[in-house]
Chain A
Amino acid sequence: MASTIEIIKCTGAGKTEASVSSIALKSTDDSTQTASESPLLILASGSNYSYESWIRFKMTVLDGACSNFQIWSPGDTLQSGNFKITVNTTAVVDGSYAAPVDTQSAKGTRADFKDRDSASKIAIAGTLSAVGQSTDFAVFQGVVFDTAIPGSIQDTCFYSYDEA
C-alpha cells in the first residue's frame, strides 16, 4: 500500500481546508464554485486577477514518508498574451498564510507558471512522515489581460514526489 497524498486548497481568513481534484481560478474565494459560476471579467484596460489559490499537499494515509514535491507546467499551452497563471517560486510557509486576495499576488517570488516546465520544476518544501502533515504552499493566481478572449479554458499542473 502506498501513502495517500491529497491536494488541499485553503480558503478564507480561517484557512479552511478542502481536498480538491482541480483548481478553479475564479472571482470567488472558496473551494466549491466552478470557474463558470465565478468567471473572471475582462477589464476595459489593465489586468484583472483571480483570487489566489493556496494549494499544498497533505498526507492522509501513511505507508512511507513522502518528500521532494515538485510541480511544473506543460510549457506553452496557456493563453499567451491573453491570460496567464503566476505562482511563487520561493517558499511560502504555513505561518505566512493570509486570506486569499484578488489583487496582484505578492506571495513569494512570482513567476509565470508556463515558464516553469519539466526543465525548471518548482520545489515545494516538506517531508511528510505522518498523517495530517502538509507541505509548504504553492500560491497560484490567474491574470486576465484586457486583450483576452472570452471562453472556458483549462490547463494542467503536473506534480511528483518521492516515497520512501
Chain B
Amino acid sequence: MDEFKFTWNIVKGNKTYTREQDKDLEKFLSLRPFLFIVIEKQTKKEFHYLIDKNRTPIFFRRVFGKCGLNVMINKILKVVNCFGYEEDGKRNVFWENNNKFYSVQDIDKFITLENMHGSTS
C-alpha cells in the first residue's frame, strides 16, 4: 500500500469580481496608492496588471493571447502590495516581494520569481 497527499487552501472571498461588486479590491485600493494584481478574464486567460486608485491600468503584461485595457475582472488570483509616487509628472511605481523591491521595469523579473515554484502538486 502506498499513498499520496491531497492539499488544498481555503480562503474567504468572492469568486466573481466586477468593478461594482468587488468590495475587497475597493478596500485594498483605499489603503494603497497602487496595486499589482494578477487577474483572470472570463476567457480564462491570465493577465498581470498594475492599477491605480481609479482602477486604471497603468501597466499591464499579458501572459497569453491578446488583451486590451478595458477589462472586466473575473477572478483576482493575486494581490501584491505596491508603493508609488509622482515626480515631475512622471509616475513611478515599485512593489515589495520577500523584502525586495522591484520597479515596473523589473516586472518580468518579478513574474519569473513568482513562477519559480518547483512544486510537485
- Contacts A20-B121, A33-B117: A50 and B8 contacting too (C-beta < 8 A)? yes
Q: Is A24 in contact with B119, judged by CB distance below 8 angstroms?
A: yes
Instruction: Enumerate chain B residues within 8 angstroms of A159, measured Cβ to Cβ.
Output: 1-4
**Among listed B10-18, B50-58, B86-94, B101-109, interface-contacting one:** B10-18
Report the interface size class on chain A.
Answer: 35 or more
Q: Contacts A149-B10, A150-B11, A151-B9 given; indicate if A27 touches B4 (C-beta within 8 A).
A: no
Question: Binary interface profile of A, 22-45, with partner B (CB < 8 Å = 1, else 0)?
Answer: 111111100111111111111110
Contact, CB under 8 Å: A154 / B3: no
A103 shortest CB reach to chain B, Å: 11
**Is there a chain A Cβ closer than 8 Å to B120's Cβ?**
yes
Q: Which residues of B contact A153 (CB under 8 A)?
A: 7-10
A35 touches B9 (CB 8 A): yes
Is there contact, CB below 8 Å, between A41 and B14? yes
Q: How many residues of B sit at the interface, in one of the four size bands?
A: 20 to 34
B8 touches A21 (CB 8 A): no
Q: Which residues of B lie under 8 Å from residue A21 when comparing CB positions?
A: 4-5, 120
What is the CA–CA distance of A48 and B16 in the complex, to the nearest angstrom? 11
Give bound CA distance, A155 to B9, whole Å. Answer: 12
Interface residues of B (CB under 8 A from A): 1-15, 75, 77-78, 115, 117-121
Apart from A40-B9, A40-B10: 5 A-B pairs, beta carbons within 8 A: A20-B121, A42-B12, A42-B13, A152-B8, A156-B4
The 6 closest A-B CB pairs, nearest first, are A24-B121, A39-B9, A25-B8, A35-B7, A35-B9, A22-B5
Ordered by A's residue number, 11 sampled pairs between the chains whose C-beta atoms are within 8 Å are A21-B120, A23-B5, A23-B6, A32-B117, A34-B119, A40-B9, A41-B15, A153-B8, A154-B6, A154-B8, A157-B6
List residues of A whose CB falls within 8 A of some B CB: 7, 18-28, 31-44, 48, 50, 82-83, 85, 140, 142, 144, 148-160
